[in-house]
Amino acid sequence: MNTNGFADSASGLIPLSWTRADPEQRLAFRGGRFTRVNTWCALLLGVIFSTCFYAALYIAPNSYLAVTFTQRGPIPYCITFFFFWSIAILILKFFKLRLQRRALQMVVVPENPEFVLSPLTVDDVIGRMYRVVDDPKHFTLLNRIYVALANLRNLGRVADVDEILETQASSDESVMETSYSLLQGFVWAIPVLGFIGTVQGLSAAIGGFGSVLATTEELSQVKDALKDVTGGLSVAFETTMQGLVAALIVQLLLTAIKKSEEEFLDGCSEYCVRNVVSRLRLMPYESREES
């Protein structure tokens, strides 16, 4: 690859290949659009991570951590699975976002200060795109530029390009927001599962306490029986703690990834203004129309 970011003609390699570099494509799944995550790929990774976690717990089955996750009913298993499913989504989004950021380093508009972007030069810029990436439509930044340039080539109106870029920017923000819908659902569901475990534990404790009072008359026997009853309370509070801690971790990571993606979208807008909008020149007939 040469210093301008274009493919080396001798090697024939494309510097930025979505097909080769997208993490889901490399795992033999269909890659999600831009930074969207393939749900099935993330699900499989979540299953693998959960299995590895429980396999690690069985190394020391009598430890406190192993007991709380394996001897407290089905709720900890559900919390663990949703937690690692969320982590898998965030990991995939991290690598997909890193791939998208690489497009910001690509030069698709000639750096010559005298270059003017017009209907006559659109094909040159689009050709440069296809020498830099395998398909611009897979990259947020390049897709945004491609749509604007295609409109300029077909309609020949330079004045519409800026508006199209703004429309695409709004669409990209909407795509970004919807890509976090499943994660936000998990952040809500995980602590709810913890509270369900709390209700189950309290119900078991209260039911056990009622049985003790109904069947036992001696005070010493009541004390001994209550030791078993309090086991339900440990289930209640431990599952709540698991749910809250897991949801907190997911929320913090989600916030960090989302902030990074918002900064990336801002970088795309700045790139378009600097390399596309600033190179536009109104055609003579457009100047007459505006006057």
Identify the CA nearest to 104 among candidates 284, 291, 264, 276: 264
Q: For position 15, what pLDDT does the model report?
A: 87
Indicate whether 4 belongs to any domain. no
Q: Into how many domains does the chain fold? A: 1
Confidence of residue 214 (pLDDT cuts 50, 70, 90): low
Confidence check: pLDDT of 235 > 70: no
Indicate whether 171 belongs to any domain. yes
Confidence check: pLDDT of 285 > 50: no
Rg of the chain over CA atoms, in angstroms?
28
Confidence of residue 220 (pLDDT cuts 50, 70, 90): low
Break the chain down into helix, strand, coil percent, rounded to 5.
75, 0, 25
Q: For position 158, what pLDDT does the model report?
A: 73
Confidence of residue 163 (pLDDT cuts 50, 70, 90): confident
Cα separation of 256 and 248, whole Å? 12
Q: For position 286, what pLDDT does the model report?
A: 47
Confidence of residue 118 (pLDDT cuts 50, 70, 90): confident
Q: For position 170, what pLDDT does the model report?
A: 93
Q: Which of 41-55, 180-194, 266-280 has the lowest mean pLDDT?
A: 266-280
Indicate whether 22 belongs to any domain. no
Answer positive or negative: Cα dihedral of 34, 35, 36, 38: positive
Indicate whether 231 belongs to any domain. yes
Q: For the beta carbon of residue 197, count every other beta carbon within 10 angstroms.
A: 26
Domain that includes residue 232, residue range: 33-290
Indicate whether 252 belongs to any domain. yes
Indicate whether 230 belongs to any domain. yes
Indicate whether 103 belongs to any domain. yes
User: How much is the average pLDDT of 193-205?
Assistant: 78
Indicate whether 24 belongs to any domain. no
Query: Dihedral (C-alpha) 111, 13, 140, 252: value to the nearest 10 degrees?
Result: -110
User: How much is the average pLDDT of 127-147?
Assistant: 92
Q: Which residue type does 128 have?
A: R
Q: Which of 124-133, 158-167, 267-276 has the lowest mean pLDDT?
A: 158-167
Report the mean per-residue pLDDT for the chain: 84
